Amino acid sequence: MAEKNQLIKIRNSLERHVGDKVRLTAKIGRKNILIRKGVIDSIYPSVFTVRLADDNKGSRISYSYIDVLTKAVEIQFYRRQNEA
């Protein structure tokens, strides 16, 4: 039950950051790391999507909240421009 509560907290936190710029660090193997920059695009019941900034096609990538919980994906939020 505690895990479910943590997943809800992660989802709620990401909902507040829809439209914000982020840097994602994803572990894709034993020693491989993928770093991507983009904008949190949409929030769904099991996953969230990020519109990639470095791709002119407007590609999106999706991750589950479990990925964030298990630290397979780390998210760094950029400061909003209207904040001091």
Q: How many CB atoms lie within 10 A of CB 37?
A: 14
What token pair was written down for 69? Answer: 């919980």
pLDDT at 78: 87
Domains of the chain in sequence order: 2-77 (2.30.30.100)
Is the pLDDT at 14 greater than 70? The verdict is: yes
Q: What pLDDT score was predicted for residue 84?
A: 42
Half-sphere exposure of 82 (CA within 13 A, CB side): 1
**Closest of 47, 37, 43 to residue 68, by C-alpha:** 47
pTM equals: 0.81
pLDDT, tens digit, for every residue of 32-70?
Answer: 999 999 999 999 999 999 999 876 677 999 999 999 999
- What's the mean pLDDT in 18-40? 91
